[in-house]
Structure 1
Amino acid sequence: MSHLNADLVPPGAPTPGLPYSSTLRTTKARWWKPAVGIPLGMILMLVASFAASLGAMAIDASVFGRPFDFTAMTPMVYAGSLLGLVALIPITWFLVRVIHRQSWGWNSSVQQRLRWQLILTPVPLLLVLFLAYMIVFTPLFADQGGGGRSPQWLTFLLIGVLLMPLQAAAEEIFFRGYVQRAAGSWFSGQRAALIGGTTVSAVLFASAHLATDPWLNLYYLAFGVALSIATQLTGGLEAAIAIHVVNNVVAGAVASYTTDVTQMFDRSAGVGGPFMLVQIAVIGVSAAALVWWSRRRQVATRVAAA
């Protein structure tokens, strides 16, 4: 660890030379802050998701005359479920600023800002990769799906395209941006911070999906681990956000057009299978490719000296 100008580092700012997973280990770091912040963030996420879904069902009932049904997936409930997760952005801001007393920019990258070019530039190639995967493998595993396409498929498609980028980015801002760094702040060693932060964030990310299928849980764990490592090796959330956004938008669009959107939220035992190893491989290849591309561009991966 570099301690260059350590005495001149403002309180709450990471010491120059630190990698991303260690950027919450500052002069204001205390062991109890992640112990409070991480559970509080998870609870607030559940509350926001429940409130958004309940609000969506209330609108369905008052405007469209639909009965309250927690199992029915209407366009309004679909939008509510995504907006509930978008709430992770202000939740994370609250945790970083109020509990950890750190500038919000450090949650984005070691350069204290979100580097938009690193998100937008690889998106076209990622779209090609994920669309090719979906086109090839969706017909092969069509029996894993459920009912036919909804009559409101176009509405579902538009909602997904508009809201899923925000939902996917919000999950990265919280799980990789906050949880990974908060858990990493418990460790003084950089390698231990990466391993500890990755483990905690990946396990909580998988748990938050409430899946009872072992293959799905393996997929979510692998997804979290791959994006945590990519975040560390690229010095920020940009690669993880790009992959997560493209993955969700493509999956949502294909599901809207080919089958009942409800199937995207079915995580019961028996839904997954060995075919999900292909999905894991696609995520791994995408993460490795963006790390390689970022290294070629010599992007900053450690906090620079002030």
Structure 2
Amino acid sequence: MTAAGPEERERDLEPYAGPPPTRAPSAELRAPAATPEGDAGPEAPEPAGPTPFLLAMRGASWAWWRPLAGVAVIAFLLGIALVLTRITHVLTGTGADLDPVPLSWRGLLVTDLFLAVALPAVLLAWPIAHGVGPGRGLSVAGRLRVPLLRRLLLVALATAGANVALGVAGAVLLADREVPGHVAELPWVLLVGLLTVPLRAAAEEVLFRGYLAQAVAAWIGRPRAGAVVAAVVTSLLWAAAYGTDDLTGFLGRVALGLAASAAVALTGGVEAAIALHVVVAVVVLLLGAVLGEDAVPGLGSDGPGQAFALVGVVGLAAFVALAARRGART
């Protein structure tokens, strides 16, 4: 083994100076600099919340004319249905009539099927006029929330439906309103009514509290103002479609429309409006068919106890409050 020279012994006695210098790490590998406490820097923007149901038309494809195009599609399909009902009237003597008196199974069948065309018409208007699926016209979830609809049907029966029955009972027992007895062909009236009235009620709500309300709110563009204006406009239009001769009946329909509109805005879909309308329409049908049309205030002609029709307003308010709680859980 060769002995180390003087230079090598001197180098061995020097202290260790560490490795030779290397390149600095890349920016991706550097640890973020510590931020002094209290100086957190600019906050990251919070993600935007979900689009309200009534502003569903204000998407990327929004244009002011699209709701008008959708209304034109709906009107065209309803016009075809109206022509078919006219042909039916010529052949059978029974046509569509929004006046529920006199109550007959043939009149119910033709009228309800005619109005039920509004449902497929709205579902077609969305892809044709807006280029998207029809789910936006049903709820914020993009579909009909069937479990919520089932729960709200029970809520509507315990609130609005019960109050309608109490109003009729008050008019008959406390105001001596006339009870003419059940209508002719009662079994057929009940069978046809129970099958078609819910379908008609659902179609009307999808049209008025769904598409038309969304169109009005979209033109306004502000959530709260749009919801209020849409509620007033659609409630008046729907009530006027059934006639304005009977003031009590007209006001009752306006109240029902406003309650349905409030429930739609609070739950984010048409399920609440469908449940409310279906229950009220079926209860009125059953009472009118069994007791006679004149026994139901707001359904038949003016008479004693007409003011009892407004008792149902209490049930409408209770339904809206309970529907909002159940809709928030979905």
> Which range, TM-score by smaller chain?
0.7 to 0.9
Specify the SS of the correspondent of 1:185.
Answer: helix
Match of 2:215 in 1: 182
Quick one: which of 282, 303, 307 aligns to 1:274? 307
Q: Find the aligned partners of 2:220 and 2:188 in 1 and give their Cα distance.
A: 47
User: How does 1:146-295 map onto structure 2 within 5 Å?
Assistant: 147-260=180-293, 273-295=306-328
Shift of 1:266: 5.4
* CA–CA distance in structure 2, aligned partners of residues 221 and 259 of structure 1: 24
Number of residue pairs matched by the alignment: 280
CA distance in 1, matches of 2:282, 2:184: 20
Give the greater-gyration-radius structure (CA): 2
Give the C-alpha shift of residue 152 in structure 1.
0.7
1:145 to partner: Cα distance = 6.1
Aligned twin of 1:75: 105
Report SS of the residue matched to 1:198: helix
TM-score when scaled to structure 1? 0.78
Residue 85 (structure 1) aligns with:
115
In the alignment, does 2:153 pair up with 1:123? yes
2:62 aligns to what?
Answer: 29
Tell me, which stretches of 5 or more residues in structure 1 are unaligned? 6-15, 62-66, 300-306
CA distance in 2, matches of 1:197, 1:218: 17
Work out the CA distance in 2 between the residues paired with 1:69 and 1:128.
31
Measure, in 1, the Cα distance between the counterparts of 2:138 and 2:210: 7
Contact 1:187 1:193 in 2 (8 A): yes
The Cα of 1:57 is off from its aligned counterpart by 3.8
After superposition, the C-alpha distances for 1:156-199 in whole angstroms (9 at most, x for unaligned) are 01111111111111111111110010111112221222123222
Q: Which amino acid aligns with 1:96?
A: W
Note the alpha carbon deviations across 1:20-68, whole angstroms, 9 max, x for none: 111111222222233454476467547635743x45545645xxxxx88
* Counterparts in 2 of 1:280 and 1:184: CA distance versus 1, 3 Å: same
Quote how far apart the aligned CAs of 1:239 are.
Answer: 1.2
Q: Is the 8 Å Cα contact of residues 210 and 267 (structure 1) preserved in structure 2?
A: no
Separation in structure 2 between the aligned mates of residue 255 and residue 112 of structure 1, nearest angstrom: 37
RMSD: 3.3
- 8 Å Cα contact 1:37/1:99 also seen in 2: yes
- The separation in 1 between residues aligned to 2:241 and 2:181, in whole angstroms, is 28
Q: Share of identical aligned residues, percent?
A: 27
Residue of 138, 141, 155 corresponding to 2:171? 141
Please report how far the alpha carbon of residue 231 of structure 1 lies from its aligned counterpart in structure 2 after TM superposition: 0.7
- Sort the Cα spacing of 1:120 and 1:175 in 2 relative to 1 into closer, same or farther, 3 A: same
Moved more, 192-201 or 126-135: 126-135
Equivalent-residue separation in structure 2 for 1:55 and 1:31 (angstroms): 36
Structure 2: distance between partners of 1:51 and 1:184 = 33
Question: C-alpha distance in 2, partners of 1:206/1:261?
Answer: 20
SS of equivalent residue, structure 1 residue 163: helix
Residues 238-294 of structure 1 deviation map (CA, whole Å, 9 limit, x = unaligned): 111111111111211121111149979957777994323212221221122111222
TM-score using structure 2 length? 0.73
User: CA separation of 1:185/1:147 partners in 2, compared to 1, >3 Å: closer, same or farther?
Assistant: same
